Amino acid sequence: MRVIYISFFVLLATGLGSCKKFLNTKPTDALTGEEYYNTEAKIMNALAGVYDKLGSGTLYGDYLFSEWDACTDDSYYARSSAATGINVYNFDFTNDRIRKLWQDCYIGIERANQLIANINLPPISEDKRTVILGEAKFLRAYYYFLLVTRFGGVPLVLDPVTSPNNLEVVRASDREVYEQILKDMKEAEAALPLSSVLGYPSRVSKTVAEGILARVCLHMAGAPLKDQAKYAEALSWAEKVKVSGEHALNIDYNSEVATSAYSQIFINHSQDIYNVKESMWEVDFKGFNGDGYNESGRVGNTIGIAMTSTTFQNDTGYCYGFIKGTGRLFKLYGEGDQRREWALQPYSYNGKTGARVPIVTTAANMYSRDAAKWRRSYENLRPKNKNTGPTNFPLLRYSDVLLMLAEAENQVNGPTDAAYNAVNQVRRRAYGVDLLAPSVMADVPAGLSKDAFQLFIEDERSRELCFETLRRQDLIRWGKFLTAMKAVSADMTANGGGVKYGALGGSNVSERNLLYPIPSGEIALNKKLVQNPGW
Residue 162: pLDDT band with limits 50, 70, 90: confident
What CATH code would you report for 2-61+92-191? 1.25.40.890
- Say how many C-beta atoms besides its own lie within 10 A of residue 380's C-beta: 11
Alpha-carbon gap, residue 69 to 470, rounded angstroms: 8
The tens digit of pLDDT for each residue in 236-286 reads 999 999 999 999 999 987 766 667 999 999 999 999 999 999 999 999 999
Q: If we measure between CA atoms, which residue out of 19, 12, 20, 17 comes closest to residue 37? A: 12
DSSP secondary-structure letter at 393? E
Number of H helices, E strands in the chain: 20, 6
Report how far apart, in Å, the C-alpha atoms of 329 and of each of 153, 195, 423, 458, 492 are. Answer: 32, 33, 18, 12, 12
Q: Give mean pLDDT, residues 465-492.
A: 97
The one-letter code for the residue type at 122 is P
Q: What is the pLDDT of residue 502?
A: 81
Residue 295's pLDDT is: 84
Other C-beta atoms closer than 10 Å to the C-beta of 447 total: 8
**E strands in 424-501:** none
Asked if 253 and 259 touch (Cβ cutoff 8 Å), the reply is: yes
Closest CA to 8 of 181, 160, 127: 160
Beta strands in 228-286 (DSSP E): 279-283
In this prediction, residue 228 carries a pLDDT of: 97
Whether the pLDDT of residue 8 is over 80: the answer is no
SS (HEC) of 310-379: HHHCCCCCCECCCEEECHHHHHHCCCCCCCHHHHECCEEECCCCCCEEECCCCCCHHHCCEECCCCHHHC
Q: Which of 136, 121, 107 is nearest to 47 (CA)?
A: 136
- pLDDT tens per residue, range 37-65: 999 999 999 999 999 999 999 999 999 99
How many whole angstroms separate alpha carbon 53 and alpha carbon 20?
A: 30
In the three-class reduction of DSSP (H, G, I as helix; E, B as strand; rest coil), residue 397 is classed as strand
Cα–Cα distance for residue pair 489/73, rounded to 1 Å: 8
pLDDT given at position 91? 95
As beta bridge partners, residue 279 has 397
Q: Could you tell me which residues come within 8 angstroms of residue 446 by beta carbon, excluding any fewer than 6 positions away?
A: 420
Give the whole-angstrom CA distance, residue 280 versus residue 242: 12
- pLDDT above 90 as % of the chain: 85
Q: Return d(Cα 416, Cα 271) in angstroms, integer.
A: 39
Beta-strand relationship, 75-77 and 323-325: antiparallel
pLDDT tens per residue across span 129-155:
999 999 999 999 999 999 999 999 999
Phi-psi category of 534—alpha, beta or left, where left has phi over 0 and alpha has psi -120 to 50? left
pLDDT at 25 over 80: no
Between CA 86 and CA 512 the distance in angstroms is: 13
The set of residues, in sequence order, having a beta carbon less than 8 Å from that of 23 and lying 6+ positions away, is: none
Asked if pLDDT for residue 34 goes beyond 80, the answer is: no
pLDDT at residue 292, as a whole number: 67
Q: Which one-letter DSSP state was computed for residue 226?
A: -
The pLDDT-based confidence of 81 (bands split at 50, 70, 90) is: low
Between CA 435 and CA 103 the distance in angstroms is 44
Residue 507, CA atoms < 13 Å, CB-side half-sphere: 13
Identify residue 197 by its one-letter amino acid code: V
Give pLDDT, residue 284.
Answer: 95
Q: What is the mean pLDDT of residues 431-460?
A: 97
Q: What is the pLDDT of residue 498?
A: 63
Residue 39, classified by CB atoms within 10 Å of its CB into exposed (0-12), middle (13-18) or buried (19+), is: middle
Please choose, from the candidates 492, 470, 504, the residue with its C-alpha nearest in 3D space to the C-alpha of residue 85: 504
Which pLDDT band, with edges at 50, 70 and 90, does 483 fall under? very high
At residue 258, the pLDDT reads 62
* pLDDT score for 79: 75
- What gap in Å lies between CA 153 and CA 143, rounded to an integer? 13
pLDDT > 70: percent of the chain: 92
| pLDDT above 60: residue 3 | no
User: Would the pLDDT of 363 be above 70?
Assistant: yes
Q: Which of 78, 13, 527, 61 is nearest to 285 (CA)?
A: 61
Query: Would you kindly state where each structural domain of the chain is located, as residue ranges?
Result: 2-61+92-191
- CA torsion sign for 26, 29, 35, 41 is negative
The interaxial angle of helices 398-413 and 450-465, nearest 10 deg, is 170
Is residue 213 over pLDDT 50?
yes
The pTM for the full model equals 0.93
Of the candidates 36, 17, 41, 15, the residue with the CA atom closest to the CA atom of residue 27: 17
pLDDT score, position 19: 34
pLDDT in tens, 500-525: 778 999 999 999 999 999 999 999 99
pLDDT 10s digits, 300-339: 999 999 999 999 999 999 999 999 999 999 999 999 999 9
pLDDT of residue 26 exceeding 50: no
**Phi, psi torsion values for 220, nearest 5 degrees:** -70, -30
Q: What span, in angstroms and rounded, lies between the C-alpha atoms of 436 and 399?
A: 15
Query: Is the pLDDT at 20 greater than 50, yes or no?
Result: no
What value does the mean pLDDT of the chain take?
A: 91
Bond from prior residue into 27 cis (ω within 30 degrees of 0): no
Q: Given this model, what pLDDT does residue 6 score?
A: 31
pLDDT bucket at 364, cuts 50 / 70 / 90: confident
Q: Which H or E run contains 77?
A: strand 75-77
How large is the average pLDDT for residues 383-389?
A: 94
Nearest-angstrom CA–CA distance, 145 and 185: 11
| CA distance to 111, 184, 480, per residue, from 140 (Å) | 9, 8, 29
Q: What are the pLDDT digits (tens) for 163-174?
A: 877 778 999 999
Nearest to 215 by CA among 463, 462, 402, 451: 402
CB 340 within 8 A of CB 462: no
